[in-house]
Amino acid sequence: MTADLFDSVAEAQPSREEIADGAVLLRGFVKPIESELIDAVRAIVAQSPFRRMTTPGGHLMSVAMTNCGERGWVTDHTGYRYDPIDPRTGAPWPPMPPVLRDLARNAAEQGGFEGFAPDACLVNRYEPGTRLSLHQDKDELDYSAPIVSVSLGLPATFLFGGLARNDKPRRFRLVHGDVVVWGGPSRLAYHGVAPLAEGEHALLGRKRINLTFRRTR
């Protein structure tokens, strides 16, 4: 069944835009399988609910999140890290559904990165007004694997900068179904999300769901 789903993705032939060296934007890449993805996210959240985590500096993140896969990204007063156990439930994070794993692998291939096998998927929930400040994804042990980021729900302004924090980021409007893949020379690029504008999405209401796939080790 999963293979059939991704046959549909391939047939859709979404547009591919290179946004930096080693970074591509795949417009509408997951639109054909939106229902399967939303169902998978709901099953994950039923097992490990969304929560707003606290940074080591004591700040409450505006974006609510959960995880699936072998490891999940967490933050608290001790620092940022990946952990196989959900600190809220005391149980392992939900397994990564095959539809998500296959999506990440296929998107990475479209971005020029063969054989991507993520072991973590961060599930972020944005509501109007929430944002994600510019940062690097550098809690992983191996930077050879790319990052695959999927947008569902409300549109968002994605900020993609350079390897230095003060590099001016470019702005890209991401809509439901878009995927961004970055790795290689862009693997440690600073990136973030501008405050989410008010709106109502037909399938997800007043929110945006972002799936971020990573290989942590």
pTM, full prediction: 0.93
Look-up: residue for tokens 């944005």? 126
Q: In the predicted model, is pLDDT for residue 1 greater than 90?
A: no
pLDDT digits (tens, 9 = 90+) for 59-97: 999 999 999 999 999 999 999 999 999 999 999 999 999
Q: How confident is the model at residue 133 (pLDDT cuts 50, 70, 90)?
A: very high
Q: Give the closest residue to 160 by CA, choosing from 178, 150, 173.
A: 173
10: confidence class by pLDDT, cuts 50, 70, 90: very low
Residue 212 Cα distances to 1, 30, 81, 198, angstroms:
23, 14, 15, 23
What is the DSSP-derived secondary structure letter of residue 31?
Answer: G
Percent of the chain with pLDDT over 70: 94
> Three-state DSSP class for 54?
strand
- Above 80 in pLDDT, residue 176? yes
Domain ranges of the chain: 2-214
Q: Would you state the structure tokens that stand for residue 110, as one six-digit string?
A: 């479209």
Given CATH 3.40.50.300, say whether it is the number of domain 2-214: no
